[in-house]
Amino acid sequence: MAELVSQEMFLNMGPHHPSTHGVLRLIVQTDGEIMRRAVPDVGYLHRGIEKIAERVTYQGFMPYTDRIDYVSAFSGNLGYALTVERLAGIEVPEKAEYLRVIAAELARMGSHFIGFGAVLLDLGAVTPFVHALRERETYNDLMEMLCGARLTHNYARIGGVSHDLPEGFKEKTLKFIDHLEYEFIDEFNNLISFNSILVKRFANVGVVSAEKAIEYTLVGPNLRGSGVQFDLRRDDPYSIYDRFDFEIPVGKGKFGTVGDCYDRYWIRIQEIRESCRIIRQALEQMPEKGEIRTKIPKVFKPPKGEIYVRTECPRGEMGFYLISDGGKSPYRLKIRTGSFSAMSILEELSQGVMVADLVAIIGSFDIVAPEIDR
């Protein structure tokens, strides 16, 4: 009888695999259905955004920040605007600060709808993704009402924002967050979050301990999912976040081990509730009248110097390191994103798991390819 011989295989997942959340390639080494490891191969979406910053004016670079994380475009707007303002010593009007917070938290919710909806679609659950897209469309409608754009908003300006609240925006936003708090989240949880099949696919899969999360510099929901209660909005406040009352959800091993795929998924569900709380407070506190933008010179030249500013985006810390030589364009701009750090841990997590579990792990980190490559 011939002797059975097994051999490991090298497979390509991507760069156009539907569950890689963008143009991403994974080199998968498998023994049957068991993975030895999966090595990320990034760079397919590199656009040279950081280099472009050196070739355009400070104001002219704002639309490019939409493209860092197109799922949550305003997050990049806000981080870049704060960086330039702190370097130049520009004071933002109070009303503009409230408008920024409202837009940022709407963007957080809009991003999470796509984040947890997409991972469920990766696992074969089509209906929940449609439910999530329905809410995302309402977010798109609100942002279009606010600034005229649905996906890449270009809403922030150095010194403030481009538009004030339009008539009817406050009422429509309050109706939306009431719907989320009292209808959608409970409906969605009953539909899928507590579904036994989802729990089995997520619980005890892709476990990242708190120590390991810190070692790999995970940020945002991926860090908090491992039980680390750290959020820049509370622990290193920027804008006017210190005026609001909200909680920081952390992973507690709801159905399995702390730091598993389910905890990372569940954190994003909970964060939608907290964003609703912040938006409600901001709408109540915001002054009815006031300037929305500080005037800056048409030929804007910040003083020489360097600065690093970080903000809490849907995928965690987004940091801008800016060097100015006194000209009208940045001398150097470096952007730090959460998806890039999340990619670094995939190779270790993939060792010894099923190929099907790799799809769940990638989706649970809510990776967006433009954040990786820039």
Nearest to 297 by CA among 88, 96, 56, 153: 88
> Residue 45's pLDDT is what?
84
> How buried is 295 (Cβ within 10 angstroms: 0-12 exposed, 13-18 middle, 19+ buried)?
exposed
Give residue 241's identity as a one-letter amino acid code: Y
Give residue 198's identity as a one-letter amino acid code: L
Instruction: Please provide the DSSP assignment of 152-176 as one string.
Output: S---EETTEES-PPPTTHHHHHHHH
| CA–CA–CA angle 179, 141, 75 (5° rounding) | 95
CA dist., res. 313 & res. 226, Å (int)? 18
CA dist., res. 278 & res. 284, Å (int)? 10
CA dist., res. 347 & res. 341, Å (int)? 12
Hey, where are the domains in the chain?
9-373
Q: Which is more confident, 25 or 142?
A: 142
CB 308 within 8 A of CB 79: no
Q: Is the backbone peptide bond immediately before 15 cis, with ω within 30 degrees of 0?
A: yes
pLDDT digits (tens, 9 = 90+) for 229-284: 999 999 999 999 999 999 999 999 888 899 999 999 999 999 999 999 999 999 99
CB 210 within 8 A of CB 217: no
pLDDT digits (tens, 9 = 90+) for 74-107: 999 999 999 999 999 999 999 999 999 999 999 9
CB 371 within 8 A of CB 69: yes
Indicate the helix (H) or strand (E) that contains 237. Answer: none
Q: 9-373: which CATH architecture?
A: Orthogonal Bundle (1.10)
Query: Scanning the structure block, which residue is given the tokens 């909970």?
Result: 270
pLDDT digits (tens, 9 = 90+) for 106-137: 999 999 999 989 899 888 889 999 999 999 99
